[in-house]
Amino acid sequence: MKGYLIAAGILLVALALWFSHDTGYSAGYAAGSNAVQAADAKGAEQAGATTDQRQTDAAAAGSQLQTQIQLTIPAIEVQADDSQRRIHTLYLAQPAAVAAGCRRPDSVQAELDAAVDRANEAARGDLRPHPAAQDAAQGAVAAQRGGSG
């Protein structure tokens, strides 16, 4: 009978160890699962913040480009209009010859070359707008901002 009691005691100790091991495993599994879910949530939050920042930066860049265009285009238009007027005046003053070797007068060609140079400067962003055109463009931008709120 003493042997049965010892065997029963060993069985009880074994069962206690088994259940405590199972509880420890479950607790560890749950803790690991919670840690993974927390890390996933943190990563999703950071990704959302990065996306929001990129959208804000893109909107600011678009707005800045719009403002730059509004300042640059009037200057280009003024210079293009001036070039057109000068070429028209030069052709009126010196009409094209009706000879077989018809070509542009040198002054017209020089004006066209200057217009090409200004267009290339504008494309590179090197164009310095005429002060009057720049003031008018800035006034238009300010009026638009004032009207939109």
pLDDT single digits (tens) 97-115: 555 566 777 888 888 888 8
Res 53: pLDDT = 93
Which ranges of the chain have pLDDT less than 50?
148-149
pTM above 0.75, yes or no: no
- Rounded to whole angstroms, how far apart are CA atoms 71 and 32? 58
Cα 33 to Cα 9, 22, 30, 82, 95: the distances in Å are 36, 16, 5, 73, 88
**Residue indicated by tokens 């160890």:** 17
Res 59: pLDDT = 92
**Residue indicated by tokens 């690991």:** 32
Res 58: pLDDT = 93
